[in-house]
Structure 1
Amino acid sequence: MAAAPERKVLEEISEDFLYCTICQEKFKSPKILPCLHTFCEQCLVTLVEKTGSLNCPECRQQYQLPVGGVPAIKGNFFMSNLIEIFTQRQQSIQGTENKCEGCQQNTATHRCVECRYYLCNTCFTTHRNLPFTRKHQVMTIGEYETAKSTSPIPLQAVEYCNIHTQNEVKFYCETCQVPVCTDCTTVKHRIPEHVHRDLKDAADEYLTELKAMVDKLKVKEQEAEKNKTLAKQMQTDLTEQCSREERKVRMKAEEIIKKIKREEQRLIDELKNNYKMKIKNAAADIDEMELKHGNIKSAASYIETLMQHGNAAQLLSTKDDVGTRIKQLIEIDTVAKDDNDDFIFRPNDEFCEHGILGTLESDVCMSKCTVENIPKQLWKGDSADLLITPEIPLENKLSQNNQ
């Protein structure tokens, strides 16, 4: 399930997955937000100090800062494990000698698979004699390197309890929805008030549910991508149509003498003003669609990676956040807005008589418009500014109400 061979992890996950989008460097003390976006702890600290609030730089969602500040946000141990694997590979390629992570002085001769520490001979002896590490699986460096290339070394062989740090996590408390150790089941998660399950059984069941939710999320991603493309095409069509109508105006103007230049410019300005807001709205729709699509795709990518390469405890530690985030994203409205109210240039063949090159006409039916600011009396030759408001079709009203 989540315990994939290190070699397979290196093949399937891009190293770019391990970089913080704020500092553009590999994660340091990675923290995961409820939206499943991960950032360096210090990057989030700087962000909160600068803005005074916790807003995700990726999806712009705002969160309440937990008691204890940024350090109290959930750590992404899954990401930390991936970084360790890539770091080991880089050291292996460069031929860097592993230092003992116990004394920080001697050259490492052994590797504890469960603690994921490199140890020298002295620290290995101490490690083997300590009661709570006596049963750990320890290999020589040579044995470990051979095992990595021939057998499935899990990302983390054993997950330990956050409270009883010497105890392996073996159960899942369904009442509290957290992984727990044996001591936890007799202290804070006692029966019958709390219901316990085997950790792997609970993870397997949740994985089946998560796969179904991710399938729905992928459908939503495809829908968002399709509508983003339609929104871009809509913007292109509006821009092209504006250009076509502008060319018509210019062609008509070229047939007449210089006295029509002022009228020509008036029509062009009016045409551009009519389309300016439409194109701006189309651009805003594209930005919104790109954001929605990015959020959906990012969440789906992270969850799939977690499903394939995270262990049971890592998988269940973000169960609530993952479920909530997927539901949020599936409910996102990804339908692009459609604005078919186009302005078309209609040339006037009798310019010399009226001094007007033509008019800009809209698809809106004048019989269904409300006219305001009508003067009570006008003398011949006078002009007046009228406020014309088109009536919204019934189907559009219903659509707006539903939204």
Structure 2
Amino acid sequence: MATGGDSPQGSLEITIFECSICLQVYTRPKVLPCGHTFCMECLVSFVNGSKSLKCPVCQKNTNLKKAGRAGVEVLTDNIPLANLRGDAKISARSHDRGPNGAENPTAVPGESMCPNSEHRGEELRYYCPSCDAVICEKCWFEEHNDHGVNRLRETLPEQSIKAKEVSEDGKSLMEKIKREIRELEKTKENLTVDESNQAKAVDKTAQKLVEDFASAVIKRTKALKDELHNFFAHSNNAILDRKEMLEMHLAQLESSIETLEQYVNQEQPVAVFSGRKMLKDLIEQCSKSARDGFNVETECHNTAVFTPTPNTVPDITLGSVQAKGRPKMPDQKSKETDEVNEHETADMRNVLDKFLSNSDSPQNHPKNPLKLGWLERLPVLLAGQKVPVNK
């Protein structure tokens, strides 16, 4: 509906061209025998398929020639009123434009449309206080006919008051939510700091234990490697000596053969004879050295073998975690946890000392923690995790 502002055209449009049913400018105005005029579609909805209707203004009954829309269409058109309305609309459109015909940016836009898909194109112009809902004309006729519907614009002051009350309630709730969020953030920060401090205490205890174990492991590992090296050194030296001797014989044979072939090509009888004798003696000498009973397989097996034995590693707990009644401030520390951690560390050091006692030979000490089985568990230990084993 085209609503006017404070202009004369707007007042004229409201007072003269407004349908009493839809409260908007007439569309195809039809006049009843009583003289009152209404929109054709408003009358069609009002008749609702019957052959008679009561004037919404004076309640005078009117009998239609046909039922429903067909009966409304044969009613007399209010042509003079329609023509006058057209002239007023032209005047209103010119009022809503600027000097050069441009649209006036201050003109009030149309209201929202009804969300009901069956009422497409219908604007929301009414307010139903019973349902607290904004409705269109068709909603009024179909669902809210006896609810005391009012024009939406007329309820604006009341709606504004209610909107302000709801807005204040919303703002109050927002402040409460903000306060709670701030409290939660502060509590979370305290918990994060507390957790970090406790985690550092665990890391400190674990690091000390790892350093003690790692130092002992490195020391014993070096001793084992030195012992293995001594076992393998004899065979390695024997093989190197044999290899050097064979390489020397190979070089002598290669040189003698090359010299003898040169004498033969130069046809020097004396040199050929003496070279042949020398090469023959060298061959006998090298053959004798090759038959000297050196057995490579024997030398390779004359070594040592590292045989890991099963080990038992104690449970590594480092300490214990206990629930607290309420969160402590970030600067507070758990003395009890520190004492427990120190006690656990001392126990582990004692166990380590027992493991490392009498560890001269890898074969004679089944409880040596430097065996392969213990070393396989070491990465787990270094990671600070609990390693459950059978004691």
What TM-score, normalized by structure 2, do the two folds share?
Answer: 0.23
Point out the structure with max Rg over C-alpha: 2
Pick 1 or 2: higher relative contact order, CA cutoff 8 A, min separation 6: 1
What TM-score, normalized by structure 1, do the two folds share?
Answer: 0.22
